[in-house]
Amino acid sequence: MEPRRSAAFSERSQPSSAVKDPRTESSDVPKRLAVKILLTGKTGQLGWELERILPSIGDVVALDRRVLDLADSDSIRRAVRDLRPTLIVNAAAYTAVDQAEDETELAHAVNAEGPGILAEEAKKIDAALIHYSTDYVFDGRKTSPYTEDDPTGPLNVYGKTKLAGEQAIQAVGVPHLIFRASWVYAMRGKNFLRTILRLAAEREELRIVDDQIGVPNWADAIADSTCRVLARVAGKKSRFAAKDVSGVYHMSGAGQISWFEFAHVILEQTSNAALGGRKIQRVIPIKTVEYPTRARRPAYSVLNSEKLNVTFGVHLPDWKKQLELALRID
């Protein structure tokens, strides 16, 4: 079993005092600017977190697909021209990895053409663009973490369309930051973490792929890191000086793990939680060939985030700390 990426969310609770949150321990607190930020995809798992943290940077107008649909070029141009933001943060995407194999045109419109149009409109009004991409732009043949300079080679439609979106933005020449993230999860919506918790209450046995290696990342940690990067590139006159640092950056915590191992840790860390009872007795590792899916996945997609740290002084907690925080804060 594997994750499906996408989600919609509810209100979060206050952090537990038993766990220190590394986000509050840094002196690099984002400063608020007189800027207007257009956020797309506000109902997604990353968009939900960004809508709540971006106001620490500036005034946020958060839109969902009903107002700004990346598959509708007219709605994109209309929204940007009406709002005239200083910064566009694009958290919207087509994320149904297997379904994309049958909905190629729609996936391409949302993940490739839409971001290109956002970039064009941003350039016309001298705005900057933040965009999110994926570890699935790689083919998984490496056995050491991928850097931004490594050749891409997506294995599925989802990865191909996300890579095309990156290229479309870069071709426009707008000031931009493209953040590649991997195995994103939250305590809301449809993702691997929530699927494991649900199935643990429904089944006695789970069979989980153990030969795909990556790094799980909490949506909240990605949103927080985005804000810290924006604080670093905030220039004079309430603009974002992103031109000199435009490019692709990997945004991921340290470490690596298989889906099977991740499931095991999730169940271990929630064993004493009040989850309404459990049936789960066994978690069995299996090979990818034993769990056929419509779309191929890379066997190895760990991202090296050193460039992000060197350029902006920003790093995410390792995946274990992120999970610990997610299970207590969310």
Query: Both tokens of residue 57?
Result: 């940077």
Given a contact cutoff of 8 angstroms between Cβ atoms, the answer to whether 218 and 303 are in contact is no
| From 158, 185, 249, 300, active-site residue | 158
d(CA 131, CA 21): 26
Of the candidates 179, 170, 304, 303, the residue with the CA atom closest to the CA atom of residue 233: 179
d(CA 250, CA 231): 18
CA distances from 43 to 18, 64, 208, 214 (A): 30, 6, 28, 25
**Beta strands, E only, 144-272:** 176-181, 184-185, 205-209, 213-214, 217-218, 247-250, 257-258
Given a contact cutoff of 8 angstroms between Cβ atoms, the answer to whether 79 and 68 are in contact is yes
Of the candidates 228, 212, 5, the residue with the CA atom closest to the CA atom of residue 111: 5
Query: Both tokens of residue 174?
Result: 């707008």
158 has catalytic annotation: yes
Name residues whose C-beta falls within 8 Å of residue 17's C-beta, 6 or more positions apart in sequence.
Answer: none
Residues annotated catalytic, as ranges: 158
